[in-house]
Amino acid sequence: MLLPQYCLFCGLTSNTALPLCRDCRRELPLNQPCCERCALPLARHSARFCGRCLAQKAPPFDRVIAPYRYDPQLALLIQRWKYQPLPRLGLLAASLWQDAVPEPPPVDVLVAVPLHWRKLLRRGFNQSGQFSELLYRRHPALGDKCLARRLLRRQRATAVQAGLDAAARQRNLHGAFTLRGRCDNLRVAVVDDVMTTGATASELARCLKAGGAREVQLWCLARTPAPAN
């Protein structure tokens, strides 16, 4: 904390307690407008829902809070945070989310997307778990909520999701999660770093609602745009 921080993106001294200067912070793309259900970036402010949420059956989750659009800068932050678990990167992610979402929707419980124990052993840390801990401890609106650290378990190792299309991601995650307890009538926020196709959020929502959850939201830092045709 006594050493100067340098901006992760431009490399200049950040002049803040975090590795992000004010100029680069202002350039991060906010996810507005976006779908009110799945947070997919939209082109028009007049639309409330994306075409997929309008045309298809509603997804198992109820809402996604993703304040930023996934771009090369946020990809750099998330990749470094995931594979180089420096505490300052987790603090930066939590600070960005808190600034963009000062009043999150009401929930009762926060829970992180779990890693399989083999992957956790190899990597040494779960960035979603760190993210949920930091939001729980630092966000003033979440001090009276419950952080359920052991509610969810990933019961089988799944293939890496990167490179898989939406259908393959759903098959890859089917039946991957189990509950260690009940969550009857609770509003649950599942915390993750980024949402791509929604396969993870959907599978977790099905699992939690089978265990009695009344509502399941996904809280993440960024949302990827729809793939180009």
The percent of residues above 90 in pLDDT, for the chain, comes to 63
| Confidence class for position 229, pLDDT limits 50, 70, 90 | very low
Chain centroid to Cα 29, Å, comes to 16
| Confidence class for position 98, pLDDT limits 50, 70, 90 | very high
pTM of the model: 0.90
Instruction: Decide: helix, strand or coil at residue 222.
Output: strand
Beta-carbon contacts of 216 under 8 Å, excluding residues fewer than 6 positions away, are 60, 61, 62, 187, 188, 190, 201, 204, 205, 208, 209
Helix axes 127-138, 72-83, angle to 10 degrees: 100
CA–CA dist 82, 93 (Å, integer): 11
Domains identified in the chain and CATH numbers: 36-223 (3.40.50)
The total of other beta-carbon atoms located within 10 Å of residue 122's CB is: 9
Which tens digit of pLDDT belongs to each residue from 99-146?
999 999 999 999 999 988 788 888 888 999 999 999 999 999 998 899
**Residue 54 pLDDT > 50:** yes
**Residue 164 pLDDT > 60:** no
Q: What is the pLDDT of residue 64?
A: 97
Which tens digit of pLDDT belongs to each residue from 194-209?
998 888 999 999 999 9
